[in-house]
Structure 1
C-alpha cells in the first residue's frame, strides 16, 4: 500500500459517511438543528465539501469544482463564490435550508472524484512539497491533505450525530 492509497482510502471514508448521512433525508431533516444556533446536516456536508474543494484544488492547480462544474449556481446561495463556510453566522447556516440531499451528495461526489484523481497519482516526494509558506513551519502537501481529511471526518461525524438525533425525533 502506498501513501497515495492511504489518502484515497481516507477520502473514500468521508464520501461514504456523507452518503450515509444524507441519503433518504428531506429538507426539514437536513435543516434540523439540535439547538437554535447549531449547524445543520446540510451546512456541515456543504462546508466539509467546500473546504475539500478549496484546499485540494489549490495544490492541484485546478479550478474548484464549485465554480468549474456549476455547483455554485445549482446551490443558489447568496454567498461569494470563494466562501467555504468559515465564520458563518446562524443565518448563513440557515441559508442551506432547501438544498436537496441529492444536490449535497452530487457536489460531494464531484469533489471526491476530482480529489481522488489528484491524490491517487501522488508520490511521497510530492507530499513533501510546500503548499503554504505563510505558516511556521510551512505547510507541506501531505500535512494539508491530512488536515482536510481530519476536518472532513470531524464534520461528517457531526452530521452523523445530528442524523441520529433526527432519526430519534422523527422515527425515520
Structure 2
C-alpha cells in the first residue's frame, strides 16, 4: 500500500469518526433541549395548578354553568380570565416548541393539553364570554384549535356584557 493511500485512508477514517462524533453531540444536544422543554412546561404547569385555590376551583367548575357565571362579580371574571390566559399561553408554548422540533408532535397529549382540540371548550359559558377578548391575545394556531373543537352553532351565546361590567366597576358603580 502506498503512502498516499494510507494517508487518504487515515483521513477518511478521521473524517468519518469526526462526523460520528458531531452527530452524537447533535443528538445529545437535541435530547437535552427536549428534556429542558418538557421540564420547563412541567414546572410551569405544576405552578399553575399549585396556585389554584378553592375559589379558583369553584370558578373553574362553575364556568360550565351559565346560571352560575351570570352571578359572577367582576373579580370572578378577572380571575377566570387570568386562568384562561395562563392556560392558553401554556398551549401556545407547547405548540411553538413542537413547531421548533424541541417537543414531539404528541406533546400536547403527553402534557395533558389535548383538551384544546378534543373538547368543545366554547360550549363553556366562561370561555365563550371571554373568547372575544382572549382570541386577540393568542396566535392563529390556538384560535384554530379552540374554535375548531366546537361547531359554531354550539358556541355558548354569552349575554354578559363584560366591557360594561368593567366600565361600571371603574366608575365605582359596583363592587369589584
* TM-score w.r.t. length of structure 2: 0.31
* TM-score w.r.t. length of structure 1: 0.31
